[in-house]
Amino acid sequence: MPRDTRELGSAWTRYQRHAFPDPSPDLARYVTRYWVVSWSYREPYRQRIVPYPNVHLVLSGGEATVRGVSSGYHVKVLEGDGRVFGVEFRPGCFRPFLGAPVSTLADRSVDAREIFGPDLPSPPEIGTVEEFLRAHLPEPDPRTEEAAEIVATISASPGIMRVGRLAAEAGMSVRALQRLFAEYVGIGPKWVIRRYRLHEVTERLAAGAEIDWASLAFELGYADQAHFVRDFRAMFGESPTRYAERY
């Protein structure tokens, strides 16, 4: 199937605008960042969206949804002119807002009113959104910070390839770590480790690095290249070599 040339190189910048404002200091314990995307497409464009272990509050066109962590990529079709405002919660830090295990949101989107009540920020701008979040701040939960710090450790530590090593560094059993992630992150620690290691691959591709795929698969802890390619395709919707064509 021929590629859409609008996704190659930097062509997307002619059709989309992205901004990522930081939250105010008093909200940074819960929010990683905001994201604002606007687009203008005369012909439909299939936007592939790859996941991270974050819950999002998404505001667009008078609607508001909460999106749990997705285990794989999904596709959003963009057409005409549009704009969306998003709140990206820190991994592990949406549990107090939800009042239930974050795993109950895995691979799901729900109407934000089910969680926050009938009043939603309007218009969706930083000021109104932050006022809304402050009005709905939950009681502090020390385990949110524990979960967030463990995810941050995964992100910052390329040498972490196995759940057992992560559990040892966190000072808990593998089973306790898995329970913490189900309750607060919404997806298992094995998936989170794999996601951040694959992110390192995409950063190399974006930088134009020449890659020996077999050696890289071994470096990332895979038994062989086929298993690495399978995981990459499940996460990004295409093979590593096809992904590399973007750059």
pLDDT on residue 220 = 87
Per-residue confidence band for 3, with pLDDT thresholds at 50, 70 and 90: confident
Per mean pLDDT, which range of 80-89, 98-107, 206-215 is the poorest? 206-215
Q: Is the dihedral of CA 195, 196, 201, 204 positive or negative?
A: positive
What residues contact 130, with CB distance under 8 A and at least 6 apart? 23, 24, 27
pLDDT on residue 185 = 98
Per-residue confidence band for 244, with pLDDT thresholds at 50, 70 and 90: confident
Residue 6, pLDDT > 70, answer yes
Q: How far is CA 111 from CA 54, 120, 138, in A?
A: 17, 11, 19
pLDDT tens per residue, range 131-167: 999 999 999 999 999 999 999 999 999 999 999 999 9
Domain ranges of the chain: 5-135, 142-244
pLDDT on residue 11 = 86
Residue 119, pLDDT > 70, answer yes
Residue 117, pLDDT > 90, answer yes
Residue 210, pLDDT > 90, answer no
Residue 115, pLDDT > 90, answer yes
CA distance 221 to 243: 21
Mean pLDDT over the full length of the chain: 94
Q: Give the mean pLDDT of 196-218.
A: 88
pLDDT on residue 1 = 65
Mean pLDDT comparison of 4-13, 191-200, 205-214, highest-scoring range:
191-200
pTM: 0.94
For 133-138, which contacts have Cβ atoms below 8 Å and span 24 or more sequence positions?
133/27, 133/30, 133/31, 133/87, 134/26, 134/27, 136/97, 137/30, 138/96, 138/97, 138/99
The hierarchical CATH code for the domain 142-244 is: 1.10.10.60
Per-residue confidence band for 98, with pLDDT thresholds at 50, 70 and 90: very high
Q: Give the mean pLDDT of 173-190.
A: 98
